[in-house]
Amino acid sequence: MHNAEAFWDRIAPKYAQKPVKNVNAYQRTMERSRLYLSSSDEVLELGCGTGSTALLLADAVKHITASDISSKMVGIAKRKAEQERVDNVTFVQATPFDERFEPGSFDVVLAYNFLHLLNDVPAAVRRVADLLRPNGVFISKTVCLGDKGLPLRLFVRGLQALRVAPYVNFLKSRTLEAAMEQAAFRIVETGDYPASPPNHFVVARKD
């Protein structure tokens, strides 16, 4: 089993109980995201966790394939979809590189609180570009701890040593945007919700 899968499986039940950390920042993220969604959209969400965001945005699009490496997260998400009677979201256990995802088959890819968990962010961004149709939109929000000082990063490394934090890539906002531009995305909108530590919102369109 992949390390990340084991980590997230272990914390899934607790994660499901946790309230949204910053309600204003979350609402702002959802409001901004909705502006780019339409009722004909085929959407892929990466790192969907327990599915709350996919279930919330489902009314704005045709269909969401919501994916996550953790079968435990996906199991919780499926139960929530049944309870909420949402029938246009399909939850699957998968990484972004899963071969079931066909190149050029999505109008929108969503990745909230996700990219910073990956070793090779440029490769993941290129994969997203590949999965999108021409003119498709990549909407992401990513904690950018590379923009913060050393003490915070050392603190995170300490949590990892105690196995209470997963692998985290200390990304800078600028590096993240550069990876998108190199993958032939045009940055349409950015923001930080919240500003500290910067949780960097980026909407990028595939040219």
At closest approach, how far in Å is the CB of 134 from ligand SAM?
25
Among 36, 37, 44, 47, binds ligand SAM (CB under 6 A): 47
Q: Is 93 in the site for ligand SAM (CB under 6 A)?
A: no
Q: Quick one: CA dihedral 92, 169, 113, 134, positive or negative?
A: negative
Q: Which is nearer to ligand SAM, 119 or 135 (CB)?
A: 119
Q: Is 37 left (phi over 0), alpha (psi -120 to 50) or beta?
A: beta
Q: Which is nearer to ligand SAM, 50 or 173 (CB)?
A: 50
Using CB atoms, what's the residue nearest to ligand SAM?
A: 49
User: CA–CA separation, 194 vs 89, rounded Å?
Assistant: 27
Total binding residues for ligand SAM by CB under 6 A? 16
Contact of 204 with 138, CB cutoff 8 Å? yes
Among 44, 55, 69, 132, binds ligand SAM (CB under 6 A): 69
Q: Is 41 in the site for ligand SAM (CB under 6 A)?
A: no
Output the CA angle 4-9-15, nearest 5 degrees: 105
Contact of 164 with 145, CB cutoff 8 Å? no
At closest approach, how far in Å is the CB of 12 from ligand SAM?
7
3-state secondary structure of 163: coil
Taking CB under 6 A as the binding criterion, the range among 62-70, 100-108, 128-136, 197-205 that sits at the site for ligand SAM is 62-70
Q: Is 117 in the site for ligand SAM (CB under 6 A)?
A: yes
Taking CB under 6 A as the binding criterion, the range among 48-56, 101-109, 145-153, 192-200 that sits at the site for ligand SAM is 48-56
Among 44, 73, 81, 145, binds ligand SAM (CB under 6 A): 73
Contact of 54 with 45, CB cutoff 8 Å? yes
Alpha helix (H) ranges present in the chain? 3-17, 23-34, 52-57, 71-83, 121-131, 150-161, 173-182
Q: Is 201 in the site for ligand SAM (CB under 6 A)?
A: no
Q: Which is nearer to ligand SAM, 185 or 201 (CB)?
A: 201
- Alpha carbon separation from 113 to 88, 171, 199, 207 (Å, rounded): 23, 12, 8, 24
Footprint on this chain of ligand SAM (rule: CB under 6 A): 4, 8, 47-49, 53, 68-70, 73, 95, 112-114, 117-118
